[in-house]
Amino acid sequence: MNKRRLAGIARWLERGAPHKKNVVEFNMVEGFKYKDVKATAAETNACGTTCCIAGAAVQFYSKPVELIEKAMQETTYPHIPWFMVRNEAEELLGLDSKTADKLFMGRMASGGNCRHLVDSKWAARVIRKLIATGEVDWEGCRTA
């Protein structure tokens, strides 16, 4: 587990998940979404990375444009498929697959949904607990 990178994402979330350029607010339902559509591949894809935890990892610690180019070569999707963002983030953060699924997908990892996960401070608490205990606990970290 890359605690330094996880702590960096937690700090970003604790500050309210401020975004660079035109990226929309933190939202676990979106991997990466832009307010304005631009001409470049990075800005015309629905998944552009930073609105979710996996997206933040890719945005901060990787080169999203390279991931977009890879997606365009390897898939027929008009955007970066979620699994590519998820897999890249798992590797960047040094997580095992089960932990990555729980962290990135919240309740979806156990058959629910994550439409409620739009609170950046809640997500930061989950990451802080993961760093301290090795456990992802969305329900236990719901309130401060």
Domain membership flag for residue 37 = yes
Rounded Cα distance between 68 and 10, Å, is: 25
Report the number of distinct structural domains present in the chain.
1
Q: In which element (H, E) is residue 91 found? A: helix 82-93
pLDDT in tens, 51-83: 678 888 888 888 766 776 776 777 666 556 677
In order, the DSSP letters of 23-47 are BPPP-TT-SS-BSS--SSHHHHSS-
Q: Which residue has the higher pLDDT, 116 or 86?
A: 86
Answer whether residue 84 is part of any domain: yes
**CB within 8 A of 74, min separation 6: which ones?**
none
* 144 in any annotated domain: no
Q: Evaluate whether residue 78 is within a structural domain.
A: yes
| Residue 141, in any domain of the structure | no
Q: How confident is the model at residue 19 (pLDDT cuts 50, 70, 90)?
A: low
pLDDT tens readout for residues 90-129: 999 999 999 998 898 775 544 555 555 667 888 899 999 9
| 142 lies in some domain | no
